[in-house]
Amino acid sequence: MKLKKIHWIGIVFGIILFVVALIFFRGDTDRNLFIFVLGLAFTAIALPFILDIMLENKRDQEIGEMFLEFSRNLAESVVTGTPVSKSIINMKSKNYGPLTPYIVKLGNQIALGIPVNKALQTFAYEVDNPIITRAVTLISEAEKAGGDIDYILDSAAKSIAEVEKLKKERKAGISTLVVQGYIIFFIFIGIMMVMEYKILPLTSGISQLGGFNINIQNLKNVELKQVGDDKKQAQDLAAPFLYLLMSQGFCAGLVIGKLSEGTIKAGLKHSFILCIAALLITTGVRVATGS
């Protein structure tokens, strides 16, 4: 991935936060605040890259929709008797959104005398979209076999339309599961918070006294020491909760992305949202409560 200006801004801002955390919040008393600032630093660094992934997924979706329109227009033009090469050259002046520069280049290559099959293969390689690659392969192989090009283009357009329809139906059908996945994860965070602040304090320090032969004069000192030990023990027991929430958020995000959009890559944005939410919520509550 080529680094852009927004990426460098996020990286610099994240490094500044990281340095601030190391200088001011590295002590044991500020451990939760240190982790909270580190979470903000990681968010600043990773957010531009996650936004890039989201924009790329949106671009791929728009390219698929525009290629469907291009295929339909090309099929209609060929049916009227216009050769494929001439039809593509005529269509390069039309607006196909993010697909327009690739179609312009495709038309220019054909106008320069490059064979249609080779130009289409170059077009599919540069766009790097699975739907377009599959359609171009189908058109090329069918043309080599001697089929009717108008029928082939019409079949390819119908196939692309069916794929896009199924993708939209799947995304609409799975949207409720995506919402449920987020709700379940935040409920899980709530359960972890209840365990950390309500259950662990009750179970910590059960065996701190170490026996029954304690002088009454030393009871006050024992109680003070027990309070400090109980707090440290509760912190040690609560520490794995954050790791559990982070791993749960990362895996849940990948599953949500795979179910909703069909790719693990699309799940990275969900993993990022869930992991950052878990980190900032848990450490933020600890900082606010002073635990």
Mean pLDDT, residues 163-169: 77
SS3 content of the chain, % helix, strand, coil (to 5): 85, 0, 15
Q: 64-166: what fold?
A: Receptor-associated Protein (1.20.81)
Mean pLDDT, residues 41-69: 84
Reported confidence tier of residue 214, pLDDT bands at 50, 70, 90: very low
Mean pLDDT, residues 219-244: 56
User: In this model, does residue 207 exceed pLDDT 60?
Assistant: no
pLDDT per residue over 232-248, tens digit each? Answer: 555 566 667 778 888 88
Reported confidence tier of residue 209, pLDDT bands at 50, 70, 90: very low
Locate the domains of the chain by residue range. 64-166
Contact 241, 196 (CB under 8 A): yes
Closest residue by Cα to residue 4 from 42, 58, 56: 56
- Kindly report the pTM of this predicted structure: 0.66
User: In this model, does residue 287 exceed pLDDT 60?
Assistant: yes
pLDDT per residue over 261-276, tens digit each? Answer: 777 877 888 888 888 8
pLDDT at position 226, please? 45
pLDDT at position 235, please? 59
User: In this model, does residue 259 exceed pLDDT 60?
Assistant: yes
pLDDT at position 231, please? 53
Q: Which of 26-30, 60-64, 222-226 has the lowest mean pLDDT?
A: 222-226
CA pair distance 103, 90, nearest whole angstrom:
11
Percent of the residues in the chain that have a pLDDT greater than 70, as a whole number = 80
CA pair distance 207, 205, nearest whole angstrom:
5
pLDDT at position 233, please? 56
Closest residue by Cα to residue 205 from 166, 241, 232, 169: 232
Contact 35, 8 (CB under 8 A): no
User: In this model, does residue 43 exceed pLDDT 60?
Assistant: yes
CA pair distance 291, 201, nearest whole angstrom:
11
- CA count, 13 A, side-chain hemisphere, 256: 25
Contact 77, 94 (CB under 8 A): no
Distances (CA, A) of 73 to 60, 62, 153, 277: 20, 17, 10, 46
